Amino acid sequence: MRLGIQEERSTKEMSTVKKTSPVRSTRSAVTTVAAGFRDRLPGDASYWQAVSSKIQLLVEDYGFQNIDTPLVEDAKLYSVLKGTDFVVDQLIAIQDPQERSLVLRPESLLAMARAYREHSFGNLPQPLKLSFLSPQFRAEPKVGSGSLWQFTQFGCVVFGDPHPIVDAQLIAAYYFLFRELHLDIRLHVNSLGHDVCRDTYQALLLDYFRAQRNALCDQCKEKLSAKQPLLLFSCQQAGCQDIIQSAPQIVDHLCDTDREHFVKALEHLDEVDVEYMLDPRLIANTALYNRTVVKFIITPSDREPYSLAVGGHVDQLHNLVGGTVTPGFSMIAGLERIVLAMKENNVQLPPPPAPDVFIAQLGDAARRKSFQLFLKLRSEGIRASESLSKAGIKEQLENATRLKAKFALILGQEEIIDGTILIRDMENGIQEVNSFDKVIPEVKRRLAKIAPSTFVTTIPPATDVSAEATQHQTPNS
């Protein structure tokens, strides 16, 4: 069979190409995501949407205002944490044409304090309630260790009100957030006191650990030499744990003011049935935190417990960025960890909302008309779905069934000529002819007769909170 002119020419060109050397790309192929980072795939979208919707309700109900600080900050902002349990080496520097020392934001508290001072938020009516939902970036010492370099945090901070009810309100907000997400968490609480009583306690702790120095691991000896005895509580070595369990407890050495504040905060939690565990080994970064500190922990059945959220008083936060001491209480949760916990605990999510109507069409004229109808339905608040690129009515109606649409609107050549449209009840299969111009009022009338389905969130019962505590760390994966 003779080839057409174009086909013959293409064949000759193909044979010519085969005789030449293959063209090699000068660029290296990148086929996997960079270590420490993760794609957020569509399969997880329902979990993220469920969490995000609950977060939005919390923010609205408690009257928080959202604040977005830049992803990039001056490295000097985080230099104030050098020498604390915040690892400055985890800062990710970025190349700047102007040779400024810039880093990707590793956490949002200091950035919020910077913004608070820079924009004179202290002149606004207090307390000031700020929230954020944003990515953070920290480098892990070992690439490929499984820890994320980019992670998402949801945080709430109340500035300008030292009342213990503020502690209880924010703790309770996160407590019931996790319960509404069907997560069986354990809440650990402690008090770090203020500078004066904490300094007295640290001096007592130094004497205690120095007397046990020979039995400590090398890392604990280094922390002891640096006069940071509180950091020893994070050690998981068996020999050190025995010593830590017998160490003096800070709650026994609080001043009267801090003790009264802590007791009142706990009483407020009792009043709203928030269950918690007093954890004298719960320690936070003392450069940031003081007084009440908390940690929400979840215990999977097949691995070690991990934290979902941490929080506490951040009264010294503004002082770190050159401002004045301002009362503040913060809570921060890691969303990747929340989603992981929901999946590990087989949390059943409500199904996605079914479309009110599905538009099925046959022919080019019907497709154009259906496209216009789809947009009109959406503008009228009617949830519509379609398969405009499909040609077969049967396939389109199968999609309508799969999506559990309440009604199908069917438009073909005959309907285009007559100015009509078919309305099919997808539950009983009955279909009726309706005027195209009056289809939207008719759809609204039919939808009004259908009672909307509701999803009732059942809060799971709390479990025993007697499990052993772990070290207070900001959730980052």
- At 465 the pLDDT is 38
- CA–CA distance, 60 with 473 (Å, rounded to integer): 27
Q: Is 389 helix (H, G, I), strand (E, B) or coil?
A: coil
DSSP class of residue 458 equals P
- CA–CA distance, 381 with 359 (Å, rounded to integer): 15
DSSP class of residue 168 equals H
Given a contact cutoff of 8 angstroms between Cβ atoms, the answer to whether 35 and 143 are in contact is yes
Q: Are strands 420-425 and 407-411 parallel, antiparallel or unpaired?
A: antiparallel
Mean confidence (pLDDT) of the chain: 84
- CA–CA distance, 401 with 309 (Å, rounded to integer): 41
> Burial level of 473, CB count in 10 A (0-12/13-18/19+)?
middle
Q: Is the pLDDT of residue 11 over 50?
A: no
Map tokens 């789809």 to a residue.
374
- CA–CA distance, 3 with 60 (Å, rounded to integer): 70
Length of the chain counted residue by residue: 477
- At 18 the pLDDT is 45
Sign of the torsion angle spanned by Cα atoms 139, 309, 264, 463:
negative
- CA–CA distance, 398 with 381 (Å, rounded to integer): 24
- At 366 the pLDDT is 93
Q: Is the pLDDT of residue 471 over 60?
A: no
Q: Is the pLDDT of residue 29 over 70?
A: no
Given a contact cutoff of 8 angstroms between Cβ atoms, the answer to whether 132 and 108 are in contact is yes
Q: Is 199 helix (H, G, I), strand (E, B) or coil?
A: helix
The residues, any chain, with a CB within 8 Å of residue 216's CB and separated by 6 or more, are 209, 224, 232, 239, 240, 243
Name which of 48-52, 211-215, 236-240 the model is least confident about.
236-240
- CA–CA distance, 51 with 167 (Å, rounded to integer): 23
Given a contact cutoff of 8 angstroms between Cβ atoms, the answer to whether 467 and 186 are in contact is yes
Per-residue pLDDT band at 303 (split at 50, 70, 90):
confident
Given a contact cutoff of 8 angstroms between Cβ atoms, the answer to whether 465 and 277 are in contact is yes
- At 25 the pLDDT is 53
Q: What is the pLDDT of residues 92-135, one digit of tens each?
A: 888 888 888 899 999 999 999 999 999 999 899 999 999 999 99
Given a contact cutoff of 8 angstroms between Cβ atoms, the answer to whether 221 and 235 are in contact is no
| Residues 408-416, mean pLDDT to the nearest whole number | 93
- At 55 the pLDDT is 95
Give the closest residue to 401 by CA, choosing from 382, 420, 412, 385: 385
Q: Is the pLDDT of residue 459 over 60?
A: no
Token pair, residue 309, equals 């959220």
- Residue 310's identity, in one-letter code, is V
Q: What is the pLDDT of residues 156-171, one digit of tens each?
A: 999 999 999 999 999 9
Name which of 59-63, 291-295, 334-338, 389-393 the model is least confident about.
389-393
**Contacts by residues 163-167 (CB-CB < 8 Å, ≥ 24 positions apart):** 164/261, 164/262, 164/264, 164/265, 164/268, 164/292, 165/264, 165/265, 165/268, 166/127, 166/329, 167/265, 167/268, 167/291, 167/292, 167/313, 167/329
- At 88 the pLDDT is 66
Q: Is 229 helix (H, G, I), strand (E, B) or coil?
A: helix
| 109 CB-side CA count, 13 A | 29
Q: What is the DSSP string of 40-91?
A: --GGGHHHHHHHHHHHHHHHHHHT-EE----SEEEGGGGGGGTTSSS-GGG-
Task: Let me know the angle formed at the C-alpha of 75 by 73 and 76, rounded to the nearest 5 degrees.
Answer: 110
